[in-house]
Amino acid sequence: MIEPPFVAIYLSLVKSINELGVKTFSASQDVPKGMPVCRVQLLNNNSTNQFSNARQYTYSFQIDVVDAQNKLQRSLVNAYKIMRLCRQISINGYAVEHDEPQLTSMVDSSTNQILNRQIIRINYSVIEATAF
């Protein structure tokens, strides 16, 4: 059975980010100890009725790269590597396209420690054939 495309994208992102040595977590999980860490989440999905024999979906993902206050350079390098990984996602059984990842850099002082955050947003467009 082919897994749903948004699950396949999520799992591929998590696996690739972990292989970089950055621990990942979802919005509903506890934040792992140590820095850097990365939260990966599906923001939304939309479908179209553009094709008569296929469904097209757009999935918006956000990847939040979080690092310590004095690790801006490491944070930016990790964000660059993750953006490159985002461009390489493919799923067996589906046609996958993406837009260019968007990066927002910020300093987060909302907790008891100051953090560097690099927020990456990317949209994937997936076409799923309904008739084989």
pLDDT attached to residue 67:
94
pLDDT at 131 > cutoff 60:
no
| Mean pLDDT, residues 49-58 | 76
Three-class SS state of 109: coil
Chain-centre distance for alpha carbon 35: 18
Give the containing element (helix H, strand E) for 121. Answer: strand 115-129
The CATH number of the domain holding residue 100 is 3.30.2000.30
Side chain identity at 67, as an amino acid letter?
D
pLDDT single digits (tens) 21-35: 999 998 888 888 889
Average the pLDDT over each of 15-24, 44-53, 62-71, 98-107 and give the range with the smallest value: 44-53
**Average of per-residue pLDDT values in the chain:** 89
Report the predicted TM-score, pTM, of the whole model to 2 decimal places.
0.88
Average pLDDT of the segment spanning 23-48 = 89
Q: Quick check: 132 pLDDT over 60?
A: no
Boundaries of domain holding 65 = 5-129
pLDDT of residue 29: 87
Q: Into how many domains does the chain fold? A: 1
